[in-house]
């Protein structure tokens, strides 16, 4: 074989060459290291980025300085309610603010009001009105809860022939069930349709009696006959003609709850926190802050009723 010709490279030669290169690299790396002195701790490995993120997030500043984002508005309103109840009644001004941008039409406020006041069929203090807006296919629905407006100039009180309804010291329009004769003039006079009449109906009327495996009307309507606490008194519905049967009934901002330091039932059950309540005479209250916004409105202001229910658009 000629001297210029080289023997073919075998697999063993390739592996032997790779092993030598790897050994040389390890040796160079070892020469660059300094052995740790006696008692010197070895350096801890650097913290992975994924592990560092939670700590960085914890040390980061909050995303917003808005105090409403730090606590539930119910907590704030309860604190403001306690402050308002410590004032004389004539110095308070109860108002309700409903944010229509947050209302989803769930009707939880309506159900809570019915349960709180044990309202019979046909009597609803806080319906939720619905309206479809837009042009197909770009349509949506708008929901408008409508409690009693608690007007500062209520037309319903002017037409009552026996003075059974008036505006009390808290600024809430109330009804004296024992004085009311059921003439229903006030229902006609209310421009908001916020008054209804109690005809004495029951949801269980006409259900069977003593049928096997069924509860029966005598037991099923026990809940409906329980007394409610409207206006701080006990009003049972025993089925006769006594009050509140035969009377006009309406929203009263849950005065019996306010007397116990609790917010109205419709406020506490609103899942979107769309309903706010408080003393507008308190400049630091949430409702005073809301009614000062430019996107606030009231229903039928042109009639001069001066309602105390405000809406945010």
Say how many C-beta atoms besides its own lie within 10 A of residue 23's C-beta: 10
Residue 9 maps to a domain: no
pTM, full prediction: 0.74
Residue 81 maps to a domain: no
Residue 52 maps to a domain: no
* Phi, psi dihedral angles at 88 (to 5 degrees): -60, 150
Question: How many angstroms separate the CA atoms of 91 and 85, rounded?
Answer: 10
Residue 234 maps to a domain: yes
Mean pLDDT over 239-263 rounds to 92
Residue 306 maps to a domain: yes
Residue 17 maps to a domain: no
Residue 133 maps to a domain: yes
Residue 196: which pLDDT band, with cuts at 50, 70 and 90? very high
**With contact defined as beta carbons under 8 Å apart, do 290 and 304 qualify?**
no
CATH number, domain containing residue 159: 3.30.70.20
Q: Which residue has the higher pLDDT, 58 or 249?
A: 249
Residue 33 maps to a domain: no
> Which distant-in-sequence residues (6+ apart) come within 8 Å of 23 by Cβ?
none
Residue 285: which pLDDT band, with cuts at 50, 70 and 90? very high
Q: 158 lies in which domain range? A: 86-108+119-205+217-312
Residue 26: which pLDDT band, with cuts at 50, 70 and 90? very low
Say how many C-beta atoms besides its own lie within 10 A of residue 16's C-beta: 10
Quote the number of domains for the chain. 1
Residue 284: which pLDDT band, with cuts at 50, 70 and 90? very high
Question: How many angstroms separate the CA atoms of 218 and 11, rounded?
Answer: 99
pLDDT-above-70 percentage for the chain: 74
Q: Where are the beta strands (DSSP E) in the chain?
A: 94-99, 128-135, 138-145, 165-167, 173-175, 195-197, 248-250, 275-279, 296-297, 309-312
**With contact defined as beta carbons under 8 Å apart, do 198 and 242 qualify?**
no
Residue 295: which pLDDT band, with cuts at 50, 70 and 90? very high
Question: How many angstroms separate the CA atoms of 197 and 306, rounded?
Answer: 24
pLDDT value of position 138: 93
SS3 267: helix
What are the C-alpha distances in Å from 164 to residues 59, 174, 181? Answer: 62, 8, 8
Residue 66: which pLDDT band, with cuts at 50, 70 and 90? low
Question: How many angstroms separate the CA atoms of 33 and 37, rounded?
Answer: 12
Question: How many angstroms separate the CA atoms of 309 and 168, rounded?
Answer: 17
Residue 55 in this model has a pLDDT that exceeds 70: no
Least confidently predicted of 26-35, 191-200, 239-248: 26-35
pLDDT value of position 50: 43
């Amino acid at each position: 074989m000629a001297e210029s010709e080289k023997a073919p490279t075998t697999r063993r030669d390739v592996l032997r060459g790779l092993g030598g290169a790897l050994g040389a690299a390890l040796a160079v790396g070892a020469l660059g290291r300094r052995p740790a002195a006696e008692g010197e701790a070895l350096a801890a490995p650097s913290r992975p980025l994924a592990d560092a993120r939670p700590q960085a997030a914890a040390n980061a500043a909050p995303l917003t300085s808005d105090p409403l984002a730090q606590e539930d508005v119910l907590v704030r309103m309860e604190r403001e309610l306690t402050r308002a109840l410590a004032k004389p009644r004539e110095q308070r001004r109860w108002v309700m603010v409903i944010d229509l941008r947050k209302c989803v039409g769930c009707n939880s406020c309506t159900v809570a009001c019915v349960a709180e006041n044990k309202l019979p069929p046909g009597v609803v203090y806080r319906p939720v009105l619905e309206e479809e807006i837009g042009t197909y296919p770009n349509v949506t629905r708008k929901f408008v809860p409508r409690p009693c407006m608690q007007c500062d100039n209520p037309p319903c009180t002017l037409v009552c022939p026996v003075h059974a309804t008036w505006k009390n010291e808290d600024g809430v329009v109330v009804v004296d069930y024992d004085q009311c004769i059921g003439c229903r003039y006030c229902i006609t006079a209310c421009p908001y349709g916020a008054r209804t009449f109690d005809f004495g109906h029951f949801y269980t009327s006409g259900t069977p009696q003593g049928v096997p495996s069924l509860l029966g009307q005598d037991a099923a309507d026990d809940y409906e006959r329980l007394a409610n606490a409207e206006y701080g008194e006990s009003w049972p519905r025993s089925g006769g003609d006594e009050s509140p049967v035969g009377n006009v009934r309406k929203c009263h901002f849950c005065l019996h709850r306010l007397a116990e330091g609790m917010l109205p039932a419709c406020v506490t059950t609103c899942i979107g926190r769309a309903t706010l309540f408080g003393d507008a005479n308190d400049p630091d209250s949430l409702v005073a802050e809301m009614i000062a916004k430019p996107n606030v409105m009231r229903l039928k202001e042109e009639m001069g009723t001066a309602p105390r229910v405000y809406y945010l658009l």
